[in-house]
Copies of this chain bind each other. A is one copy, B any other.
């Protein structure tokens, strides 16, 4: 391992945050402190409670002071997203364990999303291009290629994996903070069971199953579906058959 200076990464083609020579004063205000405070505000107030004014308050300034550092509220949200991506670490690709590694990437992503309130909502329409996002994508691609995916399938697989995790977490996330899932699940169940069976035969018949919502298990089923399907397509691509479907 030769230690050499990390090459400077030029700014991505779009960038809402002003590139400023940072004066490295550690006193009250700099980009890092702002992002840290913002994430704290976000985590316990949600996106609706997330306000430039509140962030400024937490830092002991007025809202106007933030704008020199982060450009706009949207710019700050970009930075938050980048930071949160950086919290996740992706394992070094191991060809023999690529399926489990891919699932772990997804599990970590889900855990991070559940940990940072409303981060899925924030991610919508944001195409992160910061160093953390790049590093993350690169390492996920490494795993897919280690699994034997073609270039095209690797890029596609990365995209779809992120998509399905976002989709899954979207609706386990939104419903408020974490007020007990138990009562609302039974409430929904009872309501469905009370509907006219002539009009909603399936909802009435399956009402009980709507009360059971072990999200961890549901998520694992999704991952199984996805990774198995991916393994199958990889096998198709190179003309052989997959040797270990459903090994878990």
Seen from chain A, the residues whose Cβ lies within 8 Å of a Cβ on chain B are: 6-7, 9-10, 12-14, 120-121, 123-127, 129, 134-135, 137-139, 141-142, 145, 151-152, 154-156, 159-160, 162-168, 170-171, 173-176, 184, 187-188, 190-191, 194-196, 198-203, 205-206, 208-210, 212, 218, 221-222, 224-226, 228-230, 232-233
Does A225 contact B218, Cβ atoms closer than 8 Å?
Answer: no
Question: Chain copies in the assembly?
Answer: 2
Nearest B-chain residue to A167, judged by Cβ: B167
Whole-angstrom distance between the Cβ of A212 and the nearest chain B Cβ: 8
Q: Is the interface of A mostly helix, strand, loop or mixed?
A: helix
Contacts A200-B135, A232-B228; A170 near B167 (Cβ below 8 A): yes
Whole-angstrom distance between the Cβ of A223 and the nearest chain B Cβ: 10
Q: Could you give 29 example pairs across A and B, Cβ below 8 Å?
A: A7-B196, A13-B190, A121-B121, A121-B124, A124-B171, A124-B174, A125-B171, A125-B175, A125-B176, A127-B188, A129-B188, A134-B195, A134-B203, A137-B202, A138-B199, A138-B203, A141-B202, A142-B202, A145-B202, A151-B205, A154-B206, A155-B210, A156-B221, A160-B225, A164-B164, A165-B167, A166-B167, A225-B230, A228-B229
